[in-house]
Structure 1
């Protein structure tokens, strides 16, 4: 049987795809082990808030109920124009564990979340720091204890999972949850295999010692965003980073409900990836190119190839690997309800990422919120 050039091109992209997906498989198939640390270290929970008065009313009581013997909560009011400051002061008057940092915009760091977080970290009295966003909620009362237990003399950074609330019959919500879980599968896998490259501020922990040894956010202070992923990218190593796969240590955020607002948020996020270390940009770039290449070559092969049965076999094999690995990963992060949509969501995500990249070439956002 004659083998067309389209078959070889498609097979090459499919092989690269499958290698990456097999690399990602450890997240879905890994056995969850309890962290080895003990709750002997006091912890500072840090929340940066910009116009979050209503979200803080939900989050702070849940933080105060956490099953940890010794912690404080640092609430940062980042130049809010609503009643965020009054809400924080009210909580502070009710519980001594709540501490307040008020940030006023200045000319050098106007609208910069990293500046606000730096002031919050300086306010903290404890070395162990756990971060959560104001629009998040912890999945259980054990969230803080589990995240904190991962911090030890050997582990100074802990990567947690921050998912999004489910909205029925919403394509945007399905895409948001797919992208969030898919991204977590990637960065958890890299970290578990000794090559951490990012984390999310919705659920992240590190020590103040690590923060100061890395000079904080100074190397990327002027970059919009990246208080989480760029800090991890510059500071994490194969020996100092832990991951938390326990469902009780996850957090859940309120998702965007409008495409326009989600698009604006993603434009800010995608800009930070260009500042990753070159090896991470290379590995992530090869994977993304292999995804685009797979779909383009699959279409061309099916149209112009003469050995369509072999071509169809390659396509189905690649999808089998994709579905098994991603299905297990989605189950790990409690997103099994969108598993049936995985092929469609993958294509949609690839397309939107390409559009975001092109859009960011012409205009970049100026503020974090």
Structure 2
């Protein structure tokens, strides 16, 4: 019976987190945003991304926005990235190129390259995406930029992945969905903790006030989440979940490459503020315990109570995470949400264990 009490407590904590995530799941229509179109600088850092740039630069150029520049940063590429950039820049005065050379102090460091790009920008409002990301519509830049105001200096967007057949694709998109559900919900409750560089915006004032990336400049990852964790407050953050403002990219096709990517991303979590580390640890820990204890509870003499706890917990999950998934246009993930979570929980556990003692000094 003690085990069922523990199991019930774990499931209760799960449900409390799901209720917390309802901040996104049941978010009403977009809040009033600024209608004034201030000049914006779109900043893209690229390392060996010639093929993606060839496809995506035209989509950035076609944004329906009256006044913007495109800062293309060539981060010491060894392919034809720079050549592609120059080809587009010849016919579009809005495109500015920053050609970064490696140096001993910041070898293969994306933050160093981004710093040079931010310094080159002539506008104070900055929108960021990756070279392999394309906007969902021609309204992406306008919709993201409209979230800025005198108070709101940091905008969190959704960086989605393309749908394709296969279990790995669904797992990657489910992990992306759950990450977004968390950082959007935390932000809506005045406790922002991260964002993704595939779709992120902030002002140069905020960047310089926080001394840029200096506190974590030597860490390969974190130009997005560590900066947001450090610079975001309950007053200066807004979220942007309008579908026309999503960005899309193609996920990894091999599980090994995806795991390497995730290991690099998760390694920055240990540098979050203590309160965020605690809240995230409780969430992931209780998820793990739920799936560990669920089958055990069904083997006891009180299996009916265990089954009831499982049904209630999964019902909460379907209602809230299901609604959040629909809001972020991930409808096809809804039917098997518990199944994807089960696999994700143990995948994350293996990543956290393997990250112990590992170091990575390059972003690519």
TM-score, scaled to structure 2: 0.98
Match of 1:67 among 64, 69, 82: 64
SS in 2 for 1:361: coil
Aligned to 2:198: 202
Q: Deviations over 1:100-146 (max 9, x none)?
A: 00000100100110000000000000000000100000000000001
Q: How far 1:315 moved relative to its partner?
A: 0.7
Instruction: Give distance in 1, aligned partners of 2:74 and 2:240.
Output: 28
Q: Is the 8 A contact 1:45 1:73 kept in 2?
A: yes
Instruction: Give distance in 2, aligned partners of 1:312 and 1:297.
Output: 11
Q: How far 1:34 moved relative to its partner?
A: 4.8
Q: How far 1:223 moved relative to its partner?
A: 1.3
Q: How far 1:340 moved relative to its partner?
A: 1.5
Aligned to 2:358: 363
Instruction: Give distance in 2, aligned partners of 1:312 and 1:243.
Output: 37
Instruction: Give distance in 2, aligned partners of 1:360 and 1:245.
Output: 32
User: Cα 1:99–1:21, aligned 2, differ >3 Å: closer, same or farther?
Assistant: same
Q: How far 1:326 moved relative to its partner?
A: 1.0
Q: How far 1:189 moved relative to its partner?
A: 0.2
Match of 1:23 among 20, 23, 29: 20
Aligned to 2:266: 270
Instruction: Give distance in 2, aligned partners of 1:231 and 1:32.
Output: 28
Aligned to 2:316: 321
SS in 1 for 2:290: helix
Q: Deviations over 1:8-46 (max 9, x none)?
A: 011000000000011001212111215421333100000
Instruction: Give distance in 2, aligned partners of 1:9 and 1:34.
Output: 41
Aligned to 2:292: 296
SS in 1 for 2:130: coil
Instruction: Give distance in 1, aligned partners of 2:29 and 2:247.
Output: 17
Q: Which segment is superposed worse, 91-100 or 334-343?
A: 334-343
Q: Deviations over 1:168-194 (max 9, x none)?
A: 1x1111000000011000000000010
Instruction: Give distance in 2, aligned partners of 1:39 and 1:351.
Output: 47
Listed as ranges, the gaps of 5+ residues in structure 1 are: none
Aligned to 2:213: 217
User: Cα 1:255–1:186, aligned 2, differ >3 Å: closer, same or farther?
Assistant: same
Q: Which runs of 4+ in 1 moved over 6 A?
A: none
Listed as ranges, the gaps of 5+ residues in structure 2 are: none
**Alignment pair present for 1:173 and 2:153:** no
Aligned residues: 364
Instruction: Give distance in 1, aligned partners of 2:37 and 2:142.
Output: 10
